[in-house]
Amino acid sequence: MGRDVADDTVASWRRTVLERALWTAVVVVFFAMATVYVEHTASGLRTAPRLLPGELVLAAALAWRRGPTTVRAWMLIGGFGMVVAGAALEMGYLLPNALSAGLLMSVLTALIVGRRAAWAVVAGLLAIWVAIGALFIAGREIPPDAYLDLSVPGFWVRVVAIYGAVVAGTTGSVLFIVTRLQGALRRSQALYDALVQEADQKLEAQRQLQQAQKMESLGRLAGGVAHDFNNLLQIIMANAELLADDDPEGRALARQDILTAAERASALTGQLLAFSRQQPLEIGALDVPGRAIAAVGMLRRLLPHSVALELDVQPSLPPCWGP
């Protein structure tokens, strides 16, 4: 779970970087096309037309808002590469700028796509510069404003070697930072998941403890109620035997004792149902002192003998309206 959340976070971050990079690339390349068209038309350079295909690819990637992130990222890299290659072929004197743009391509790839794609772009950039150098060495016309002799092989050897070292070092550093960031996100998410799991376990343990305490209380209550009911049943059974005698006075007393025991059993059942909230609540005149005394009698069955429970109420309190 922690790995999935961390990967989703990095993916969201990469989409944000891609969107901003596309906007920046489209605006910058368009501005470059507009300015160099005016500056270089008189000298015969065809810079703006060479930049146009790359600009169209960048604009298409920007407009495709719902497209896959990886595909749009490769469109950004490809369009930017087309712009850089066109500028390098037509404007040799801006070669350092083209090299810097290529470095930016590798960094963007490392940030947006990933490790393998970044190293593939580095290799592709070096291949592009080797191909461009081979064209100029083979006799391609050198732009008139170039301040270096682009036909010298040694120049291109130095360019490829130095540029390769710079691009590889920069790309590797960016990939290292991104990898460490992903690792930190995964560790933090794993720690968060562990804390959540520990909290859930504590809540479950607390719930089980409360349930055990509840069952213990119910057991004590059941024992006390069973004891009281047993006494009442003994009274009823004993008086039921007296009903078989011929003595009218004894039979009357037995009937009264049975009625009294039954009333006490009914009251005990009512207290038990009220305590467990199983009895329907009826709103009416509520005898608060009587209810308190009954509740204390019920609670005494739940408490150990070492605990003394005292009740201080005024029996003369008027009744109130309640359940």
Is the pLDDT at 301 greater than 80? The verdict is no
Give the pLDDT band of residue 93 (cuts 50, 70, 90). very low
Residue 94 pLDDT:
55
Q: Model confidence at 38, in pLDDT bands (50, 70, 90)?
A: low
Model confidence at 295: pLDDT above 70: no
- The pLDDT, as a whole number, for residue 279 is 47
The predicted model gives 108-120 an average pLDDT of 81
For the chain, domain boundaries: 2-199, 283-323
Determine the Cα–Cα distance for residues 232 and 244; give it in Å rounded to an integer: 19
Q: What is the mean pLDDT of residues 48-56?
A: 75
| C-alpha to C-alpha distance for 302 and 221, rounded to whole angstroms | 6
| The model's pTM | 0.49
| Position 268, amino acid | L
Q: What is the pLDDT of residues 251-274, one digit of tens each?
A: 676 677 677 777 777 776 766 666
